[in-house]
Amino acid sequence: MTEETLLDAIDKMEKAVEHVQGQFTTIRTGRAAPALVERLQVEYYGSHVPLQQLAGFQVPEARMLVVKPHDRGSLAAIEKAIRDSDLGINPSNDGVVIRLAFPALTEQRRKEYVKVVKHMAEDGRVAVRNIRRDARKHLEAAEKAAEISADELERAEKELEKITHDHVDKIDRALSRKEEELLEV
């Protein structure tokens, strides 16, 4: 009983950590990365499709991203989606590929991004703590229903605390890596 609850909590916490790390990849650091544009929605033959399904990506140099559509007919739609996004990048289209030149970030913009990343990390920590709270409620209900003993409950709660601490640490480490990356000039 306690094992199932703990394993379920671990699984959910891992997903919360992965979600936060995935969010971090969408924050621009001054370097070109496909993660910045691959989830952009492109209007393609009347439906919205993620850019990663319509094109391949290359990073020939640190501040240049090349988007190569699988279908040349989608070039204009992809260019429009990139221009309309909040990336603040003007795409250049040569009829075959779209080139995105990422300008260096200003110090003020870097600090704003650090605040955004810290907020994302805090949301992740809150999600992990909510998972802990739900697991603890589940364990306490099992103890009240006499499915587990008080000693088992105490051991499970200690293990749950350790698991929570480990996952919050993972988020904190990812945050510090992203902060270093953002503040690197």
Along the 185 residues of the chain, how does pLDDT read in single tens digits?
788 999 999 999 999 999 999 888 878 777 778 888 878 888 888 889 898 888 999 988 888 889 999 988 888 888 888 888 877 788 888 888 999 888 777 888 888 889 999 999 999 999 999 999 999 999 999 889 888 898 999 999 999 999 999 999 999 999 999 998 888 76
> Looking at the structure, do residues 175 and 115 belong to the same domain, yes or no?
yes
Dig out the tokens for 171 from the structure.
């988020």
Q: Do residues 176 and 141 share a domain?
A: yes
Nearest to 159 by CA among 1, 8, 11, 6: 6
Looking at the structure, tell me whether residues 141 and 176 fall in a common domain. yes
Predicted local distance difference test score (pLDDT) of residue 163: 95
Q: How many distinct structural domains can be found in the chain?
A: 2
My answer on whether 45 and 84 are in the same domain is yes
Q: What confidence score (pLDDT) does residue 185 get?
A: 64
Beta strands 47-50 and 92-93: pairing type?
A: unpaired
The Cα-based distances of 31 to 89, 98, 116, 171 in angstroms read 13, 17, 17, 22
Residue ranges making up the domain that contains 52:
34-101
Phi/psi-derived region of residue 48, left when phi > 0, alpha when psi is between -120 and 50, beta in every other case: beta
Q: Are residue 69 and residue 95 in the same domain, yes or no?
A: yes
How many residues does this entry show for the chain?
Answer: 185
